Structure 1
């Protein structure tokens, strides 16, 4: 089972990858939205903001998110690490329910470029 530190490192790695993206992926990463990532097996939520092509984690909270971020993810720590390391394909994980993504329709259409 991934630790909180490994999950935070995975989010940092994802943020670094997004910041150096080009084309459509860079445009999708340029959204300015509140974001949360609930790690279900650790029952912890990373809350912050997607801004300037980076994910800025401002808080690590116990339990599920206390407020609804504009973009909300939910998964196990192992799945987060596997997604960021390229070992788990997002579409398959989302389709099987291993990863949950909630966002407005316009944001979902933009975010699909990241997937």
Structure 2
């Protein structure tokens, strides 16, 4: 099981990856939306903002999210680290129920290019 610091590092790497992306991925990541990522096995939530193609203003709090963000993710610590490290495909993990993604319909349509 990955720890909270490894999860924070994975989110920072994801943000760097998004900021270096091009084309459709860059366009999809250019949303300005609130974001939460609940790490279920650690029971910790990272909250931030997807803005200008990166994840900004990331904070950490114990427990599940206390507010409803526009984009909500939930997964285990190991799945987060594996996805960002390229060892786990997001779409496969989502289809298998290992990762939960909730967002508005329009955001889901735009985010599908990230999957």
TM-score in terms of structure 2 length? 0.98
Aligned-pair distance for 1:24? 0.3
Tell me which residue corresponds to 1:46. 46
CA contact (8 A) 1:74 1:101 kept: yes
CA contact (8 A) 1:24 1:113 kept: yes
Structure 1 residue 12 corresponds to structure 2 residue 5: no
Aligned-pair distance for 1:58? 3.1
Tell me which residue corresponds to 2:68. 68
Deviations 1:66-103 (A, max 9, x none): 00000000000000000001100111100110000000
Structure 1 residue 95 corresponds to structure 2 residue 95: yes
Q: Tell me the distance in 2 between the aligned counterparts of 1:93 and 1:64.
A: 20
TM-score in terms of structure 1 length? 0.98
- SS of corresponding position for 1:87: coil
C-alpha distance 57-97 of structure 1, shift in aligned 2 (>3 A): farther
Q: Which runs of 5+ in 1 are unaligned?
A: none
Q: How many residues align?
A: 115
Structure 1 residue 85 corresponds to structure 2 residue 72: no
Aligned-pair distance for 1:57? 3.9
Q: Tell me the distance in 2 between the aligned counterparts of 1:42 and 1:51.
A: 26
Deviations 1:37-84 (A, max 9, x none): 000000000001000101114320100000000000000000000000
Q: Which runs of 5+ in 2 are unaligned?
A: none
Q: Tell me the distance in 1 between the aligned counterparts of 2:107 and 2:43.
A: 26
Structure 1 segments of 4+ aligned residues over 6 angstroms from their partners: none
